[in-house]
Structure 1
Amino acid sequence: MSDIDESAPALTTPQEWRGYLREYNELYLRTADDELDSEQAWMGREPATEETVLAAERRLGVRFPPSYRAFLLTSDGWNGVGGWIELVWSCERIPWMRDTSGGASLIDLYGEDPDDEYAVLFRRSLDVAEGEDFWFLDPAEVGPEGEWAAYLFEPKHGDLKEFASFAELFHASRRLMEWFAGDDAAGD
């Protein structure tokens, strides 16, 4: 179930994310199916302030894992992720999955059995993106570096893929874009 790329950078600081997101942005613009105007040349947003991140953490009652926190301090959300994910939420919009219509629908679908592992996972997870598919983080699965397990759920197939961190989830999206673009440098 786990998809870990040992060669990918951990991305636990805003400095690490800045360069990575510049490259990700260039790749996205090269592979985007729809026409993007020149004002959409940067898919990111202004960095969140430490106070903004702390306010989101207080509202949700958690401290975000290092790679997700560093991402928000680099870009408070992201447009045009690729695949079936449209955007990564900004601090003010981050919800628990159970509090979204899509998450509630999944919980209803899988929750007929109260012990169903998907329903339990969806109830406790933080929704970090919007789209037809779901990106979410599980605060109950914390690794040695403080990273939460990250997931991609594809409802149309019922596929759940686990990643070691939010950064790993982003790497998987990038690898998919590189594959579609036919980049020989995929994984670099």
Structure 2
Amino acid sequence: MTEIPGDAAAWRAYLSEYGAAFLRTAEDYQLRKLTAEQCETHWLGPGPASEQTIAATEARLGTRLPPSLRTFLSVTDGWYGVGGWIELVHPCREIDWLRNTASGERLIELYSEADRQDELADLFRNALMIAGGEDLWLLDPTDVRPDGEWAAHEFEPKYGEAERYADFSALFHASMLLMTEDG
């Protein structure tokens, strides 16, 4: 099993292995969304985002993205085949603050009710949504390590639970481990 990727070369190798694992474990409905080329090459994302595209995304969001996500985007501007209940790691143009989305507004309202006073409401107000499907992948800009990495969370709306990971790379890797465990 490949280790958690750090640099662009490691991400390229990792994603190729990840794509192969996804294809081995994918359901028919997931495979129907892929092209013949994607199935042949095991590459389930588009080309890299340019530095200008990443910088424009950061300008739109008003913050610098964490290093692991920046490096990922410099290799592929999004990724389709993700294990678990995530369908897509968003391309630059779709990465947004959760609070700016319809689902985010509903989550903030639900988790801010007086009788709940849930810590998830704070996460939802601040989080950057980077992937979605039935579940959500969120990055927390209020929980930052000295190296600039933000804590990552996988939120499962069905259960109202969020699992914390050290950063984007660790979250992505956990999805591979889960996928290969189940497959």
The two structures have a TM-score, normalised by structure 2, of 0.90
Give 1:117 shift.
1.0
Q: Any unmatched runs of 5+ in structure 1?
A: 1-6, 182-188
- 2:38 is equivalent to residue 40 of structure 1: yes
Q: What SS does structure 2 have at the residue aligned with 1:80?
A: coil
- 2:51 is equivalent to residue 50 of structure 1: yes
- Choose the corresponding residue for 2:179, options 177, 180, 187: 177
Q: Any unmatched runs of 5+ in structure 2?
A: none
- 2:98 is equivalent to residue 97 of structure 1: yes
Question: Counterpart in 2 of 1:16?
Answer: 10
Provide the aligned C-alpha RMSD in A.
1.6
Rounded to whole Å, the distance in 2 between the matches of 1:130 and 1:51 is 24
Give 1:91 shift.
0.6
Amino acid at match of 1:150: A
Rounded to whole Å, the distance in 1 between the matches of 2:52 and 2:111 is 37
Rounded to whole Å, the distance in 1 between the matches of 2:142 and 2:108 is 17
- 2:150 is equivalent to residue 148 of structure 1: yes
- 2:132 is equivalent to residue 123 of structure 1: no
Structure number with higher helix proportion: 2
Percent of aligned positions with the same letter in both sequences? Answer: 52
Q: What SS does structure 1 have at the residue aligned with 2:132?
A: strand
Give CA deviations for 1:19-70 in whole Å, capped at 9, x if unaligned.
0000000000111011445133221111000010000000001111111100
Rounded to whole Å, the distance in 2 between the matches of 1:82 and 1:174 is 6
Question: Counterpart in 2 of 1:108?
Answer: 109
After TM superposition, the structure 1 = structure 2 runs for residues 71-90 of structure 1, keeping only pairs within 5 Å, are: 71-90=72-91
Rounded to whole Å, the distance in 2 between the matches of 1:126 and 1:110 is 17
Amino acid at match of 1:141: D
Rounded to whole Å, the distance in 2 between the matches of 1:100 and 1:20 is 30
- Choose the corresponding residue for 1:157, options 144, 156, 159: 159
Q: What SS does structure 2 have at the residue aligned with 1:79?
A: coil
Amino acid at match of 2:132: E
Give 1:115 shift.
5.0
Give 1:119 shift.
0.6
Give 1:116 shift.
2.8
**Does the 8 Å CA contact 2:111/2:117 hold for their aligned counterparts?**
no
- Runs of 4+ in structure 1 over 6 Å off: none
Give 1:18 shift.
0.4
The two structures have a TM-score, normalised by structure 1, of 0.88
Question: Counterpart in 1 of 2:168?
Answer: 166
Q: How many residues align?
A: 174
- Choose the corresponding residue for 1:138, options 133, 140, 155: 140
